[in-house]
Amino acid sequence: MKRSHHCGELSLDHVGQTVTLAGWVASRRDHGGVRFIDLRDRYGLTQIVFDSEHEPTVHQLADRLRNEYVVTVTGKVTLRPEGSANPHIPTGAIEIRTTSLIILNEAKPLPFALDDTITTSETLRLKHRYLDLRRPRMQALLQLRSQVSHLVRQYLHANQFIEVETPILTKSTPEGARDYLVPSRVNPGEFFALPQSPQLFKQILMIGGTDRYYQLARCFRDEDLRLDRQPEFTQIDVEMSFVDQEDIINLIEHMVRLVFKETKNIDLPTPLPRLSFEDAMGRYGTDKPDLRFDLQLQDLSQFAATCDFKVFRSAVESGGIVKALVIPGGNDFTRNRIDNLIDTAKEFGAKGLAWVKVNEEGNLDSSIAKFFNAQALREALPSAQPGDLLIFVADQAPIVHQVLGRLRLLLGEELQLVDQNRWEPLWVVDFPMFEYDDAAKRFVALHHPFTAPHPQDMPLLETDPLQIRTQAYDLVLNGFELGGGSIRIHAPQVQSKVFDLLNISKTEAREKFGFLLDALESGAPPHGGIALGLDRLVMLLGKTESIREVIPFPKTQKAQCLMTEAPSPVTLEQLQELSIRTTAKKPDSPL
RNA sequence: GGGGCCGUCGUUCAGCUAGGUUUAGGACGCCAGAUUGUCAAUCUGGAGGUCGCGGGUUCAAAUCCCGUCGGCCCCGCCA
């Protein structure tokens, strides 16, 4: 018996019709002579009535119903009696007077309540994800994700993009995250890698004349997990030929604005604000600033250079900087709380944390206040008001930025400065091309080794690589990196030069991506692109507490699936067939 | 690899910080009965826990100590 309607659509308009519904028993209320159940499917809830007077047989059968039984019912849509309508659900004006009930399947008592309001440990939810997914909230999130994907596809197709699938079984890439490896049975001792991103393939597609490519690409990285990081995730992967940075930023802005408008009726600004990497680091101490609250880093290096506090002066003299955060109302921080801040600053890498209270009279209150000219400090820090707490870090710039950037986030949360209803997207642009890795004694690419320098910085490749800025851009939203991209190198000589600087030998470059180098020499168009994290986008749109909520079957922090219990040992035969022997000593290992 | 928080009936939470008050308790769920207008239904009764696991301290451990397993958050890592 097929259903005629679903459980979310019946209303006064249907009164008098005979309908058939199917779904799960969401709850039951037994009054003896009359029994009610709420029947649930993806679309909603409908109340079903079993009346002993009119339909004694069906009423008796309904006694067997339990939560999450799967049933199909046929009956007449009727108006609920005076005073018993339920205004809280869309179908609350009507109910179904049942003439037929079929129990399609039974269900054991549940390991946890499916109620949206009841909190259950995530462990249990993940173990029984099939139950968890039945909850309206989870269905809504799946639907949101589907809606976002659909909008993205529509938009990109409308802009002449072609969706292309790139290989999942591919080649291990250097200079990135750890790869997930897949042994090749027919090539003993050799391995595929799962893609960390389709980066090289999309560039090859441009060289192949595809002009505009996109893919909702599954990517894999064998690194430790975070609340916004999973070992497999989906990115909206885009690449275009004959474009510059502005073209890509424009295209993506429109797409993101469309997604926010269509899914949540949110109007993002036009155009999106931009910050240079330098400004982002200087003012927020991070390349993914959360602009939902202000609390900017204040540069006090000039003041510090002339003050009597030796720690400050010597930091500046040795090429470092001094920056401060003005904590509004921080004057009432207890000594204990300040000590905790100092400890936290040290954990973040600072040698110490200087602090000064500005008391209600506007005087400086601190053990180091005697070193400062109060007037000079006021002029250097005009935003400081009576009642504030000033905290300072003096060190080399990267450390100052890292420490104050993190303290800013911590304090923003503690002092509830973050407006949860705000949406603060921005582009971070003009990234440096390289960083110097002191440990490895070499340059490393900040973005990736295929990112093109700014044309005017090109000569610096020979002279001062650390000063080179790239045509790279990150899209940041509320402190999360939504994605990033760049204009790519299309000149083979430039690409070779960059590999040199990264200390990737000719042999190694040849071995790892000889195909790209060959392709670049075969008529590569100028091209560039971007990749946005679909999971993070949906997580932010859905305001969920972690990325796992918007992934139907996510992994735990130990990169395991609690439902399937993957990964798991395999048989000795399987290993032998793959010419593999493991050195792991697990009690349940087949060795 | 490192730091922190958490683990008590099916679920959720109390009890732990004063070791004995506990035969480990409440709520929800479950089981049985009652109930013709509920929608967090109600009423009566009942079942259900080796306090994650192992070891130690003690006359006595859910409670203190050590280890371990699992979950979460963070650092490192994530070009």
Residue A117 (CA) to nucleotide B41 (C1'), in angstroms, measures 18
pLDDT at A5: 97
B74 nearest neighbour residue (CA to C1'): A226
pLDDT along chain A (591 residues), means of 10: 93 96 95 95 96 94 95 97 93 96 94 81 91 93 97 98 97 81 95 94 97 97 94 97 98 98 96 96 96 95 91 92 93 85 88 91 87 89 92 93 94 89 96 85 88 94 93 96 96 92 88 90 97 97 94 93 90 93 59 36
pLDDT at A569: 87
pLDDT at A585: 56
Structure tokens belonging to residue A483: 């994605």
Nucleotide of closest approach to A451 (CA, C1'): B79
Residue pointed to by tokens 């993070």: A536
pLDDT at A587: 42
pLDDT at A589: 42
For residue A501, count other CB atoms closer than 10 A to its CB. Answer: 19
Nucleotide of closest approach to A53 (CA, C1'): B36
Residue A305: partners with Cβ closer than 8 Å, 6 or more residues away:
A312, A313, A316, A317
Q: Give the predicted TM-score (pTM) of the model.
A: 0.94
Nucleotide of closest approach to A81 (CA, C1'): B37
Complex prediction ipTM: 0.90
Taking Cα atoms as reference points, which of A537, A543, A480 lies closest to residue A290?
A480
pLDDT at A503: 87
Spell out a b/e string for A348-357, using b for 16 or more CB atoms within 10 Å of the CB, else e: bebeebbbbb
Residue A327 (CA) to nucleotide B28 (C1'), in angstroms, measures 45
User: Any idea what DSSP says for residue A226?
Assistant: B
User: Any idea what DSSP says for residue A428?
Assistant: E
pLDDT at A548: 95
pLDDT at A430: 95
Question: How many CA atoms lie less than 13 Å away from A536 in the CB half-sphere?
Answer: 22
* Positions on chain B within 7 A of a protein C-beta: 1, 10-13, 28-31, 34-42, 70-79
